[in-house]
């Protein structure tokens, strides 16, 4: 009897091992892959997009509604991290309040257990639309967390 090859099991990657890089948007259009990491974030959400549809109700065909794709919408990215000495996220958001508009491109990279990149998503022309400071409570001993919400103009899988 011949031996059959064994199937190789590939486990899913863990969601806690990721990097986020932010750089000023430029007119070159190239993804910001060579930038430095913008810091440790404890959470990143909003890596999603949806396709709007237009429904068409054809006359005389009451048992069917035709659906056609229209626009793609991307959710805002939400980044959370522990409050530290860096004021980078606050200053970026507050710059828009003062009229100093600086859009940023970014890359979110998922890593394997050995810190090797597995998947990367890039976003373009990000705007810091909401900054949230920590919830302070003397009765708890949780880490102070700040959150930044970024609206952007597109998400791509690199």
- State the DSSP string of 29-72: ----TTSPP----SEEE---EEEEEEEE--TT-TT--EEEEEEE
Within a domain: residue 13?
A: no
Within a domain: residue 145?
A: yes
Within a domain: residue 10?
A: no
Q: Say which residue, 70 or 144, is predicted with more confidence.
A: 70
**In the predicted structure, residue 20 carries a pLDDT above the cut 90:** no
Within a domain: residue 11?
A: no
Strands 104-111 and 18-24, by their bridges, are antiparallel
Domain housing 44: 18-157
Q: Say which residue, 101 or 29, is predicted with more confidence.
A: 101
d(CA 2, CA 146): 60
Its pTM stands at 0.78
Tokens of 53: 């549809």
Given this model, what pLDDT does residue 149 score? 94
Mean per-residue pLDDT of the chain:
84
Within a domain: residue 3?
A: no
Within a domain: residue 67?
A: yes
pLDDT band for 32, please (50, 70, 90 cuts).
very low
Within a domain: residue 8?
A: no
- Structurally, the chain folds into a number of domains equal to 1
Within a domain: residue 62?
A: yes
Q: Are 92 and 104 in contact (CB under 8 A)?
A: yes
d(CA 105, CA 29): 10
Given this model, what pLDDT does residue 38 score? 62
**In the predicted structure, residue 84 carries a pLDDT above the cut 80:** no
Distances (CA, A) of 96 to 83, 107, 147: 21, 21, 17
d(CA 19, CA 143): 20
Q: What is the CATH number of the domain that holds 85?
A: 2.30.110
Tens of pLDDT along 98-130? 998 889 999 998 888 888 889 999 999 999 999
pLDDT band for 56, please (50, 70, 90 cuts).
very high
Percent of the chain residues topping a pLDDT of 90? 36
């Amino acid at each position: 009897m011949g031996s059959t090859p064994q199937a190789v099991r590939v486990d899913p990657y863990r969601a806690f091992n990721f990097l986020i890089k932010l750089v000023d948007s430029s007119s070159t259009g190239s993804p910001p892959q060579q930038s430095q990491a913008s810091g440790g974030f404890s959470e990143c959400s909003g890596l999603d997009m949806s396709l709007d549809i237009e429904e068409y109700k054809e006359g005389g065909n009451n048992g069917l509604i035709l659906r056609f794709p229209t626009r793609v919408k991307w959710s805002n990215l939400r980044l959370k991290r522990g409050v530290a000495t860096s004021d980078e996220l606050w200053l970026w958001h507050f710059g828009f309040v003062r009229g100093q508009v600086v859009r940023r491109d970014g890359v979110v990279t998922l890593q394997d257990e050995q810190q090797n990149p597995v998947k990367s998503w890039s976003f373009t022309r990000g705007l810091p639309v909401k900054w949230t400071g920590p919830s302070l409570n003397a009765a708890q001993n949780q880490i102070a967390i700040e959150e930044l919400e970024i609206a952007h103009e597109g998400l791509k899988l690199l």
